[in-house]
Amino acid sequence: MSSSSSGSEEEDEGLDSYRKGGYHAVKIADSFAGGRYIAQKKLGWGEFSTVWLAYDTQSSKYVALKIQKSAPQFAEAALHEIQILSAITKGDPSNTKFVGHLIDHFKHAGPNGQHSCMVLEFLGENLLRLIKYNRYKGLAMTQVREICKCILIALDYLHRELKLIHTDLKLENILLYSTIVPSKDPVRSGTAPVLRRPTASEGTNSNYVLAVNSSEKKLKQKARKAVARISERRGFVEGVGKGGRCLDGIDLRCKVVDFGNACWESKPLAQEIQTRQYRAPEVIVESGYSFPVDMWSFACIAFELATGEMMFTPTAGEGYSEDEDHLALMMELLGKIPRKMTACGARSKDYFNKYGDLKRIRRLKNLSLEKLLVEKYTFSVTDAHEFVGFLCPLLDFDPEKRPTAQQCLQHPWLNISS
Q: Which residues of 48-79 are buried (b: 16+ CB within 10 A; e: fewer)?
A: bbbbbbbbbeeeeebbbbbbbbbbeebbebbe
pLDDT in tens, 194-219: 999 877 665 544 444 443 344 445 55
Question: Pick the catalytic residue: 56, 168, 325, 396?
Answer: 168
- Mean pLDDT, rounded, for 405-416: 96
For residue 232, is it within any domain? no
For residue 379, what pLDDT is reported?
Answer: 98
Helix pair angle (292-307, 381-391), 10° resolution: 160
Residue 256 and residue 141 share a domain: yes
For residue 365, what pLDDT is reported?
Answer: 94
In whole angstroms, what is the distance from residue 130 CA to residue 4 CA?
A: 12
CB 329 within 8 A of CB 266: no
Residue 390 and residue 355 share a domain: yes
- Could you give phi then psi for residue 303, rounded to 5 degrees? -60, -45
Judge whether residue 376 has pLDDT over 90. Answer: yes
Residue 331 and residue 265 share a domain: yes
Residue 142 and residue 266 share a domain: yes
The three-class DSSP label of residue 348 is: helix
Helix pair angle (141-156, 292-307), 10° resolution: 160
Binding residues for ATP: 66
pTM comes to 0.88
Decide if 168 is catalytic. yes
For residue 259, is it within any domain? yes
Binding residues: 66
Q: Which residues of 262-287 are buried (b: 16+ CB within 10 A; e: fewer)?
A: bbeeeeeeeeebbbebbbbbbbbbeb
For residue 209, what pLDDT is reported?
Answer: 40
Containing H/E element for 31?
Answer: strand 31-32
- Residue 66's CATH number: 3.30.200.20
Domain membership of residue 77 as a residue range: 1-122
For residue 1, what pLDDT is reported?
Answer: 41
Task: Choose one of 122, 147, 162: the last residue of a domain.
Answer: 122
Q: Residue 12: pLDDT band by 50, 70, 90 thresholds?
A: confident
For residue 233, is it within any domain? no
For residue 4, what pLDDT is reported?
Answer: 44
- Mean pLDDT, rounded, for 28-50: 95
- Could you give phi then psi for residue 356, rounded to 5 degrees? 85, 15
- Residue 308's CATH number: 1.10.510.10
Residues in contact with 97: Cβ distance below 8 Å, sequence separation at least 6, in sequence order: 91, 153, 154, 157
**How many structural domains does the chain have?**
2
For residue 268, what pLDDT is reported?
Answer: 87
Mean pLDDT (the chain) is 89
- Mean pLDDT, rounded, for 120-124: 97
For residue 204, is it within any domain? no
**Could you tell me the CA-to-CA distances from 282 to 328, 331, 341 in Å, in that order?**
14, 14, 7
CB 24 within 8 A of CB 67: yes
For residue 70, is it within any domain? yes
